[in-house]
Structure 1
Amino acid sequence: MFDVAPLVPEARAVAQAAARIYWQHLQNALQGILIHGSALKGGIIEGCSDIDFRLYLSATLLTPAGQLPLPLSMAIQRDLTAIDLAPFQYIQAYVTSSQTAHQHGGPLPGAYHMLYGTLPVPEATLPELLQRARETIERAQHVPARVAAELLEAGGNRLQLRVRYMCTDVWPVMYSVLALQAPQPLEIWRLSKQSAMYLLPANAPLGRSIRRFSQCVHTYYEQSHSTENALAVLEQGVAFLEAATHWYASYR
């Protein structure tokens, strides 16, 4: 029922279990389950990577806010918590209907896989991809100031969350820079993070900073969640985002 064969081996059991739960609760309203990211392209960082789903649903099931009714979401959550997510950190899923698809845009050709059903919306076009890339880089200019402000706080798992959020800021910017540079932008999004990273010259600011960032991320998640390792991730992430912002200023 769920086509997990194209996924990397370590993602198949998690994807199968999650898809079955979504299907059991949503059934007739469920038009399709899409998966993208490292579960499909490879390059999973153990304990860091998430597994990304998009659920395409009939609008009749959704609230006026475009989400599932709270009791239904709670029932799904109860079942999802029983899944052993390793090597992923968590499941990330978004709900889309044919009426709200324009708010998110279609998926990028070749960079997604339908686990179940069919894609009920058009794929993203090249102009849409390039516009998303520009918007992603433009948003990144605000991240360094946000990080500096947030580091005045402490307690709980705040620092761990900031490391995770930095990853969700940096990797999309890397892909966006490469997409704007590439003669075939769609091909960039089909690459794993590691493969894409090495397209940036090692002797240039973007290439140096993204390699250092990647090394710090692996050290943090694979060796020690120490304060210094966390701060190193944030420092190198900011360095890359600043390099990307500088590059984009000349690109425009």
Structure 2
Amino acid sequence: MHNELFDLKIGDEIINQISKVYFKYTKPYFRGLVLHGSALKGGAISNSSDIDFKLFLDDEIFRPNGTLPMDIYIGINKGLSRINISPFSYIQCDAVPISKLGEMIGLVKGSYKLISGDISIKEPTNSQLKNEAIKHLENVEVVPEYFSGLLDSGNNRSIRLLRLLTTQVSPVLYHVATLTSGDGNLVWKLPKNEVLSYLPYEIGNRSKVFYEKLFDFYNKIDSDIDIIDLIYSGYLILLEVTNWYGKKY
């Protein structure tokens, strides 16, 4: 695989800028900001991968439907838009009521970083991670609902489908590796390229092809990779995973 895939991690300066924005607009209700995912662990893909955060806030700021006040959304979005996050593609953040923290399975040590705040993050056991893997792999959608967007055309719609697909494929591979390795606490703190070595041959091979094509698509000006073929390559991973899981479990 491309060496460039192995080296990309987020720098402290970008983290600090992002953290200040979230804190500024949620200060009265702020409890903690957690960075997780490939931007922290490594294995991110230039111009494709996102920067993942969880923003923990007091319950009272959330509306009944789980959303935040509009002025907070607007303020944060404008603030984040001024930050140069290159070579990452975008910032993704889940706002979580602090009361939900105790209900979460937790995050694996080494797979996250508490950027600010004083919250305590639970760390799951291997047994819990195995159960989570089984639950997710039993319900993998080989043809997810968003694939219906392939009936449409224009205005970069296929790019959006590809982004949704990449966010689905990655955790699926970690769940598979959790089962094959028997050590989810090891797997979930590894960068994506190292996780591939824990996958069954066919799944690992298809994944390598997919991520190499994904890198070329986003980073090589003269790339002749067709985005629909790339989406199909991701679909084949999901298909291979369901076939493997059906035979093994």
TM-score by length of structure 1 reads 0.87
Per-residue Cα deviation, 1:196-233 (whole angstroms, up to 9, x for no partner):
113335xx311221111111111111115978431232
Percent identity of paired positions between Structure 1 and Structure 2: 28
Report the equivalent of 2:100: 100
How far 1:116 moved relative to its partner?
0.7
Partner of 2:163: 164
The letter of the residue matching 1:216 is K
Question: Offset at 1:124?
Answer: 3.1
- Answer yes or no: is 1:233 the counterpart of 2:240: no
Give the whole-Å Cα distance in 2 for the aligned partners of 1:67 and 1:150.
Answer: 26
Q: 1:120 to 1:225 in 2, by over 3 A?
A: farther
Paired residue secondary structure (1:241): helix
- Aligned: 1:215 with 2:200: no
Structure 1 distance, partners of 2:174, 2:128, is 14
Matched length = 242
Q: Is the 8 A contact 2:32 2:118 kept in 1?
A: yes
Unaligned runs of 5+ in 2: 1-7
In 1: Cα distance, 2:104 partner to 2:197 partner: 29
Report the RMSD for the aligned CA atoms in angstroms.
2.3
**Match of 2:80?**
80
**1:236 shift after superposition:** 1.4
| Structure 1 segments unaligned to the other structure (5+ residues) | 1-7
2 CA distance for matches of 1:123 and 1:182?
18
Partners of 2:70 and 2:104 in 1: how far apart? 22
Residues 136-160 of structure 1 deviation map (CA, whole Å, 9 limit, x = unaligned): 323323436753x432210111011
Shift of 1:9: 5.7
Mark the CA change 1:242 to 1:136 in structure 2 (over 3 Å): closer, same or farther.
same
In structure 2, the CA distance between the partners of 1:25 and 1:66, relative to structure 1 (3 Å rule), is: same
1:141 and 1:62 mapped to 2: Cα distance? 31
Is the 8 Å Cα contact of residues 137 and 248 (structure 1) preserved in structure 2? yes
> Which amino acid is 2:240 matched to?
A
In 1, Cα distance between the equivalents of 2:84 and 2:65? 31
Equivalent position of 1:3 in the other structure:
none
For residues 108-163 of structure 1, give each alpha carbon's deviation from its aligned partner in whole angstroms, at most 9, with x where no partner exists.
3331110112334533343432232223323323436753x432210111011111
Instruction: Indicate how the Cα distance of structure 1 residues 199 and 46 shifts in structure 2: closer, same or farther if over 3 A, else same.
Output: same
Q: 1:183 to 1:111 in 2, by over 3 A?
A: same
Aligned to 2:43: 43
Q: Which residue number in structure 2 is paired with residue 193 of structure 1? A: 192
Check the 8 A contact 1:14/1:83 in 2, yes or no: yes
The offset of 1:104, in angstroms, is: 4.8
Q: Is the Cα–Cα contact under 8 Å of residues 144 and 238 in structure 1 kept in the other structure?
A: no
> Are the counterparts in 1 of residues 9 and 44 from structure 2 also a CA contact under 8 Å?
no
Distance 1:227 1:66 in 2: 43
